[in-house]
Amino acid sequence: MEIRALKGTKDIFGEEMRKWLDMEETIRNLCNDFGFSQIRTPIFEFTNLFQRGVGETTDIVQKEMYSFVDKGDNAITLKPESTAPVVRSYLEHNMGADVQPIKLYYMSPTFRYERPQAGRQRQFHQFGVEMFGTDSPTADAEIISIGYELLRRIGLNKVELHINSLGDTECRKKYNETLKAFLESKKDGLCPLCNERREKNPLRVLDCKNEACQEMFKDAPTVLDTLGDECKAHFEKVQELLTAMEIPFVVDPKIVRGLDYYTKTVFEFVSNEIGAQGTVCGGGRYNCLVEEIGGKPTPAVGFGAGMERLILAKEAENGNTLPPATRDLFLGYRGEGATVWAYKLVNELRKEGVSAESDHLQRSVKAQMKYANKIGAKYSAIIGESELENKVINLKNMQTGEEKEVAFDELVTVMKQELNK
Ligand code: ATP
Ligand code: MG
């Protein structure tokens, strides 16, 4: 049998890997500018963390988790999102006792058993941010502004920000009643899953992917109508802050998000450039989750962004903007005696941070120069018989074609000078 990678998974290497490293660097710099520090939680957790944290009636828990029993009879799940693990870690390490807010970000493989298609995989990667310990609308606005700034830095202009408020438990309770009544009146036309969820989790019903259902939800009552004074003021302040930060948005009462833990502000950044799977980033406030997972009531807000979709959207809008890969020097050789010198010099260069390569395949000089071009060498030289005798090489600038003689023991110094020009 031919062994292949699993459906919905991808190997990342070569040019594609360079795009990933570039995106990761952008994200690290971004988070540093916003004062967020990185957290890495394990790839797997006890299954009940997600059952409790993500919610029993969500698509993720009902249909998408990679769950298994390990050899010690533990029920384990590959993380389908990272917020619940980060909350678990926040509690386990008593971060609540530290100065608040706690501002964390992650980049993590994420696993969901879904039907693979463009922008939808079974192992994908999420970049996310979480801020704990404050209910201030400034925190919501700061979280949204990180997403916006990321999209600005990677040159995505054709992305829309949709925001909504789901209210707190009080407003939600009221809204759930109104919504249940509305859904009851539509029950004959709803899909079986919606009818199943209608009573237990009416809000989740609005997130159904079925078009016929969505059509019916057009005139559903909106949660914004049932917001209490405090939630209304909070939502207005978030909007005022976004406006002041010159972040354009539309209020979209249809945004309910696919996870149970959200309260108050929710939002999505949607790209129109990458087809049906256009949501590149989604998040919101989740003031009940920390308590749900066993901690003291702790307000929190965050988002998750699909890194595959960010990379796709960036390329769709701007093409490949990465400069080609380069190497500082290719130092080839001809003849047995030159081999040792080539590797001795290459090693000295590398110790000084000059990227250098030589030949491993006993290729002809012509083939070695072809290789030098392929790796994007800025400079090249070949150690032949006379070079070996005089301990001098002809260093060629591959761009201008200029050549100059450089003694072996001057090579490191000269290369460093040349590269600093
Ligand atoms: P969708 O409605 O597209 O399924 P979601 O609501 O399930 O998205 P979230 O749980 O909010 O998504 O995850 C945050 C982000 O992670 C999404 O906006 C998307 O960019 C990305 N994402 C989610 N699922 C996948 C997947 N299977 N493959 C690639 N990216 C994904
Ligand atoms: Mg999904």
Range of the domain at 255: 14-167+227-318
Residue 253 maps to a domain: yes
Residue 120 CB–ligand 1 contact under 6 Å: yes
Q: How many CB atoms lie within 10 A of CB 332?
A: 24
**Which protein residue's CA is at the shortest distance from atom 16 of ligand 1?**
306
Question: CB neighbours (10 Å) of residue 57?
Answer: 16
Residue 214 lies in a domain: no
Q: 110 lies in a domain?
A: yes
Whether residues 340 and 307 fall in one domain: no
β-pairing, 123-132 vs 102-111, is: antiparallel
**101 and 124 co-located in one domain:** yes
The predicted-structure confidence for 70-116, as pLDDT tens digits, reads as follows: 999 999 999 999 999 999 999 999 999 999 999 999 999 999 999 99
How far, in Å, CA of 115 to CA of 125, rounded?
16
337, 310: one domain? no
CB 335 within 8 A of CB 387: no
Q: Which long-range contacts (CB under 8 A, 24 or more apart) does 198-205 make?
A: 200/57, 201/55, 201/57, 201/260, 202/176, 203/166, 203/172, 203/175, 203/176, 203/179, 203/256, 204/55, 204/57, 204/58, 204/256, 204/260, 205/179
Do residue 299 and residue 389 come from a single domain?
no
> What whole-number distance in Å separates Cα of residue 250 and Cα of residue 161?
6
Express each pLDDT in 112-170 by its tens digit: 999 999 889 999 999 999 999 999 999 999 999 999 999 999 999 889 999 999 999 88
pLDDT value, residue 131: 98
- Which of 318, 346, 377 is a domain's end point? 318
Same domain, 161 and 36: yes
The residue out of 273, 301, 318 marking a domain boundary is 318
C-alpha 375 chain-centroid distance: 29
Residues 273 and 132 in one domain: yes
Phi, psi of 80 (to 5 degrees): -90, -5
Check residue 349 and give its pLDDT: 98
Of 68-72, 204-208, 323-327, 328-332, where does mean pLDDT reach its minimum?
A: 204-208
pLDDT over 90 at 260, yes or no: no
Residue among 65, 79, 117, 126 whose CB has most ligand 1 atoms within 8 A, to mutate? 126
**CA gap 91, 97 in Å, rounded:** 10
User: By the 8 A CB rule, do 269 and 306 touch?
Assistant: no
Q: In whole numbers, what is the pLDDT of the chain averaged over residues?
A: 95
- Output the pLDDT for position 158: 86
Predicted pLDDT of residue 201: 85
- Say which range, 49-63, 249-263, 340-354, has the weakest mean pLDDT: 249-263
- Position 152 scores a pLDDT of 96
Predicted confidence (pLDDT) per residue in 200-225, tens digit: 888 888 888 888 998 999 889 988 98
CATH number at residue 344: 3.40.50.800
Compute, in angstroms, the gap from residue 306 CA to the centroid of ligand 1.
Answer: 6
pLDDT digits 0-9 by tens, 16-35: 999 999 999 999 999 999 99
Q: Using alpha carbons, select from 174, 180, 224, 171 the residue that is nearest to residue 201.
A: 180
Report how far apart, in Å, the C-alpha atoms of 305 and of each of 151, 166, 191, 199, 311 are.
Answer: 11, 20, 29, 30, 11
Is residue 203, in this structure, part of any structural domain at all? no
**Does pLDDT of 391 surpass 90?**
yes
Q: pLDDT, tens digit, for every residue of 104-125?
A: 999 999 999 999 998 899 999 9
What letter would DSSP give residue 150? H
Whether residues 248 and 394 fall in one domain? no
Q: Are residues 146 and 274 in the same domain?
A: yes
d(CA 128, CA 125): 10
Q: Quickly state the pLDDT bin for 363 (edges 50, 70, 90).
A: very high
Hey, which of 277, 308, 310 would you mutate to test ligand 1's pocket, going by the most ligand atoms within 8 Å of its Cβ?
277
| 399 labeled binding residue | no
Q: 281 CB under 6 A from ligand 1?
A: yes
Q: What is 382-413 written as a DSSP string? A: EE-HHHHHHTEEEEEETTT--EEEEEGGGHHH
- Decide if pLDDT at 411 tops 80: yes
3-state secondary structure of 296: coil
Same domain, 115 and 235: yes
User: Half-sphere exposure (CA, 13 Å, Cβ side) for 383?
Assistant: 27
Atom 10, ligand 1: residue with shortest CA distance: 258
Question: In the chain, how many domains are there?
Answer: 2
Q: According to the model, what pLDDT value does residue 164 have? A: 96
Can you give the pLDDT at residue 278? 84
Residue that finishes a domain, picked among 318, 349, 381: 318
> Using an 8 Å Cβ cutoff, are 348 and 412 in contact?
yes
333 and 303 in a common domain: no
pLDDT band at 385; cut points 50, 70, 90: very high
Q: What is the CATH number of the domain that holds 65?
A: 3.30.930.10
Residue 274 has a pLDDT of 75
Q: Is residue 210 part of a domain?
A: no
Could you tell me if residue 264 is inside a domain? yes
Q: Identify whether residues 268 and 235 lie together within a single domain.
A: yes
